[in-house]
Structure 1
């Protein structure tokens, strides 16, 4: 029985396993869609009953999947504290908490239902490649994030000294300047806060040039890692 169950819940070449994987993926998408529909205003009580029924059904299946994976795991603690084990747990957590906690007063707990989207990674080869690429490039990504945070702070300090006297309402402190720094370095530029002094404008020009480079760096890192992640699989298939 344990071997049959393991063959069912763990993705492999068997027809039963593939069917189970497709069903789980469809339920994940269905639960996310119903979660979105629940946010619509003025829903009829009958509609909410249907949505709650769908949610209950999905959670029952997800709970069975989670418990089955624990049961068939070679190392149960290793699975429980693994990436997918934590995702599976968080995907069903809000439903069971709702029995003891009023989720209307703790609306953020509903956000945990979005973790169901991460369950798709287990069944999607392309998403697994992306996950492997992120793991391969984690050191470069961490280095990039550290440098980016340093540049954001540097830009905030610089624009503060250029614009503080001219616009004390927008650049009253370095902390207020951080918003301008973030939207400028990421080249978003909402336009709600902008420099008016000559020095601030020149400084902003160089920050924008640096921002263009910052946007391009992660693309190159991830693209290179994706290539490295996919190449071994292509060689094995060849």
Structure 2
């Protein structure tokens, strides 16, 4: 039986690229989504047809405990116990710090931090029984460097980094690796609001002089789940073209 990976936020951008990359690597993929049901279902169906193995689109809010429990129930029923959890679901908010409402702050932390906690807690239950597993959290270079006008997002990703390191120490004796990938500027819908001029400026500031693609992050994720990364845990892997070193 092929291994199972659950990719939260898998309907677009980095998550969708990760879903495809894991399918290519031989996994059954559960594509998580909250609102983009058509995208997620089309992706899962397309991957199932292309690779000839079961795939699943599973909907819910990662910030909701009951939704997360139900998503994992469906995955276990349809595909089996996930060997890999990739926490890609996330939202951002850009603007002057004083303009951010408490509700906006709470929602961002609910998705970007609480969601990681809830999904990890569910996944670890099965991984402990198996005596092995792999958790990969999608963080951001701003969790390390901080970004002007993205204070909440930077703080949330810094929390994910700290959580990743601590959980790696806790779960290591059980054979479970926990790492994070901290992308730089990736050419996705989430960053489209910056505009081409701003993106071009960042590209020129990047030592490799190019923007990252979702596939760059996906390749790093597949590596972290591979046997070649069996001695790597508690790490925040920068995937940013050298912009933050």
Question: TM-score w.r.t. structure 2 length?
Answer: 0.26
- Higher RCO (CA 8 Å, separation ≥ 6 residues): 2
Question: TM-score w.r.t. structure 1 length?
Answer: 0.27
Flag the structure with higher helix content: 1
Flag the structure with higher strand content: 2
